[in-house]
Chains A and B, each alone.
Chain A
Amino acid sequence: MIDIPEEIIGHTEEFTQERVNQYAVASGDHNPIHIDPEYALTTPFKATIVHGMLVFGVLAEMLVGQFGESMMRGVSLKVRFRAPVYVGTIVFPRAKFRSDSTESGLRIVEYRISCADQQGTIFVDGTARFEWV
């Protein structure tokens, strides 16, 4: 039986420029808005921002930490990037239980997921939906 906690608390994550640069190499996404402070100055953001998919990955990994390999199939993650995460930001990934039901023989579990800073600014939020046999 899979444990369904009321809240899942991820690791506190700091997005340093070094980590963002490493992500650019790992993912192949070398958009200068993420890795080139001089270029970023010419944009409306005025500073480098973290790849959205890196923040997405951090949220998803929080769920992997809780649910393990059951994340491989039957999971749906939907997020909106509400505000740019500037390089240097420290965020707190969280998931809050929303519902647990049964549909067509499947167990459907939903969480609200988010990444916010210490001041409560929400950078990314959305839902995680699991369908388990």
Chain B
Amino acid sequence: MAVDITALTPGTQLTRNEFSIDDEYARRYLAVVNPHYSAVRDWVPPHGIATRAVLSLLDSLSLPAGTVHVSQSVTSHAQANLGSIFSMLTTVTQTRVVRGYLHIGLSFNVYDNKCDAETLILQGDTVVMVPLETDQEL
């Protein structure tokens, strides 16, 4: 079900969503972010996980085209396993309108579900600004 982003308020918890990271994603991501680095890595850096997490989050909100990133923070807590299914819990931290853009702050925790118990992998905070007058979806 589509989320009405204009109705979001601080404290709102979004529906838990999931994503995975496999070898192919890691290879493509690292090749474009750091083309200078040629060694093969068997680990995904926290910014690679955060990128996937933020996209999963923004997809779940069906944000319109023209949405722009304002700020980002990422704290890594544990090593992530390639091939894991990650789940995210997200809370809205702020909403305000500035010059025709809705600024939405989102705080999220990413867990690795590969083991029996969930392991907190990463915490992040994202602020995006969303154009209020658009009819094109991402």
Say yes or no: B54 contacts A53, CB within 8 Å.
Answer: yes
Secondary structure type dominating chain B contacts:
mixed
Say yes or no: B55 contacts A84, CB within 8 Å.
Answer: no
CB neighbors of B among A50-76 (8 A): 51-54, 56-58, 60-61, 64-65, 69, 71-76
Say yes or no: B55 contacts A54, CB within 8 Å.
Answer: no
Say yes or no: A58 contacts B72, CB within 8 Å.
Answer: no
Contacts of A75 in B (CB 8 A): 46, 75-76
Does B45 sit within 8 A of A, measured CB to CB? yes
Does B73 sit within 8 A of A, measured CB to CB? yes
Contact of B78 among A32, A39, A61, A73 (CB under 8 A): A73
- Of A1-9, A21-29, A101-109, A114-122, which binds chain B? A21-29
Say yes or no: B31 contacts A26, CB within 8 Å.
Answer: yes
B interface vs A, CB < 8 Å? 25, 28-29, 31-34, 36-37, 43, 45-48, 50-52, 54-55, 58, 65-80, 131, 136, 138
Can you list 22 A-B pairs with a CB-CB distance of less than 8 A?
A23-B32, A27-B29, A27-B51, A28-B52, A28-B55, A30-B138, A32-B65, A32-B66, A32-B136, A49-B68, A52-B72, A53-B54, A56-B47, A56-B51, A57-B34, A57-B48, A60-B47, A61-B33, A74-B76, A76-B74, A77-B73, A78-B73
Which B residue's beta carbon lies closest to that of A77?
A: B74
Does A47 sit within 8 A of B, measured CB to CB? no
Which B residue's beta carbon lies closest to that of A31?
A: B138
